[in-house]
Structure 1
């Protein structure tokens, strides 16, 4: 069978099923990536969310022994929200990053890749494949770069000529030896806008990220957020788009191609106070279908408390006091106490002092003391 002819058929079929860009790459070892990952590991720049060993992440044959090619796909998502609700003094709001605005992209991409797999099996009944989206071992970005989907920018995102970096990526490893496509030339040039704009300095140099400092990572952690990052997060509930928003390649880029990627404004920009008291069932019903819910409600509630502190929302003090006094989770109680201190009303400080008398958890007590220290800072000015 003519593999090149089938490749063209696959490309045409991909357009019919809602794939915006498709590219073909060899299944050779990702040697350069392997060295980069080793450096990342040595420097402790890992997030800890990565799946598999460095070998599994860079050697496709470990995942599919007969691997010959990798098919990379990209789906564009919106960068602007229509009818976005305003954050007001009476209703302060948080924000989910754009990649979490619509239906969970893992679901969207797996659907497209499964259809692509079925189509290929019709042409090659003996074919074998393995599909992956984000949580798989392979680096989606490394595959996309090799397959000519786009180039890897200094912000570590794949930047496509058509859609900028606002694309979801996924791949299909196959034992069919398709002719690979050519990579796209890097066109970041001397631009350093993403490095300069990163709120925490997580972009160490062009193309190198310290995940431990990246707000997108930090918003997904479940423990106390280190103090130095609390003032940097602002009202972000999940993720961070700064390095993409400032990128010149993303200016005027806004595609509304797929209904399932469209944001639901009240979910993408949720009111912060109601998030503090949301039940597990309500959380699943409201946020369960978006990518930002994968770590559960605890990190998002912690971030909501930090967001209310960012706004110095005095209307939230009563609600936050209830959280500090009654929530069974130490991290949430402690963050509530810190938030109260940051907001800084007399009611907030009195509540912290009262709760401190009975609080047993040392971590929470430490946060309460920090909350009360804000009072001393104010009086010293």
Structure 2
């Protein structure tokens, strides 16, 4: 009986040890790549995680499944989801990942190591949301200082790229698009050098002419009493050069260095004495002389008609016509009359010949002179 009792007790102890061994297990728990051995009496994966303080979410990865039975030596892999708030070249989206680091996550999403990231690639991802800006390389054309170059860059703005290329931008320089503009694929950046200066130049001031009547002088004679002289001014301009070329000029100051001297001229108004050997020519006879001279120049009858109209207005075709205001004299109203040459006072042929030459040199034809006269009242 004694030995039988001992045997029963021993059998109970052995059976209990075997049963406890089936309850107590060692499980390998791998959380986000970190392996830990845990002793547990849990029967399912869910219970193992719960005992370790983990609760799987909809974005987590669990293997085997939460309801799977665990045994001694089982391995449970648990990868927790991380929310990435990505801004890729200005396009925003949310992505869930179970990658432990930024590099692993971006690699899974297909982003190259050549892309710019606002967060270090070696950084481990926290369980909370992570904001990451990604900029892919863009081909940009930069034109500056007479050169054109193409570069591939992940810089965000025009200003950042110019800084990377060591292209200085002065306060007055023009950059298109602006330095704050975001870079886009195949963008063209133009840097124009703007230089502002002040320039001072000398400028003549033309003199005026003042005429006074002299009744003691023959009409057509003029005498310079005071010679005119141009003045001088210093003009200061604000000038703008763009890439070395003048783009604009604004006058900002004018200083008179020397004022102009007015030219004073005395103009004779006395009727000239008539030469005793030259008979006065009537307007009709003067026109007959003019008609022959006009024809000799090859001008048409239309040109002669224009000449008749013109000199009707100027002198009425009178040889001794004098303008008391200006001193002009004769049929063509020359000023002074003496420049018509010898015989200018009485000779209709001299006056008409000079007048036709003046018209031809200045207006081309009598009709051209008459057109000007109609616009301004003199020719």
Superposed pair shares fold, TM > 0.5: no
The interval holding the TM-score normalised by the smaller chain is: under 0.3
Q: Which has the higher strand share?
A: 2
Give 1 or 2 for the bigger CA radius of gyration.
2
What TM-score comes out, normalization by structure 2 length?
Answer: 0.19
Q: Which has the higher helix share?
A: 1
Higher relative contact order (Cα pairs below 8 Å, separated by 6+ residues): 1
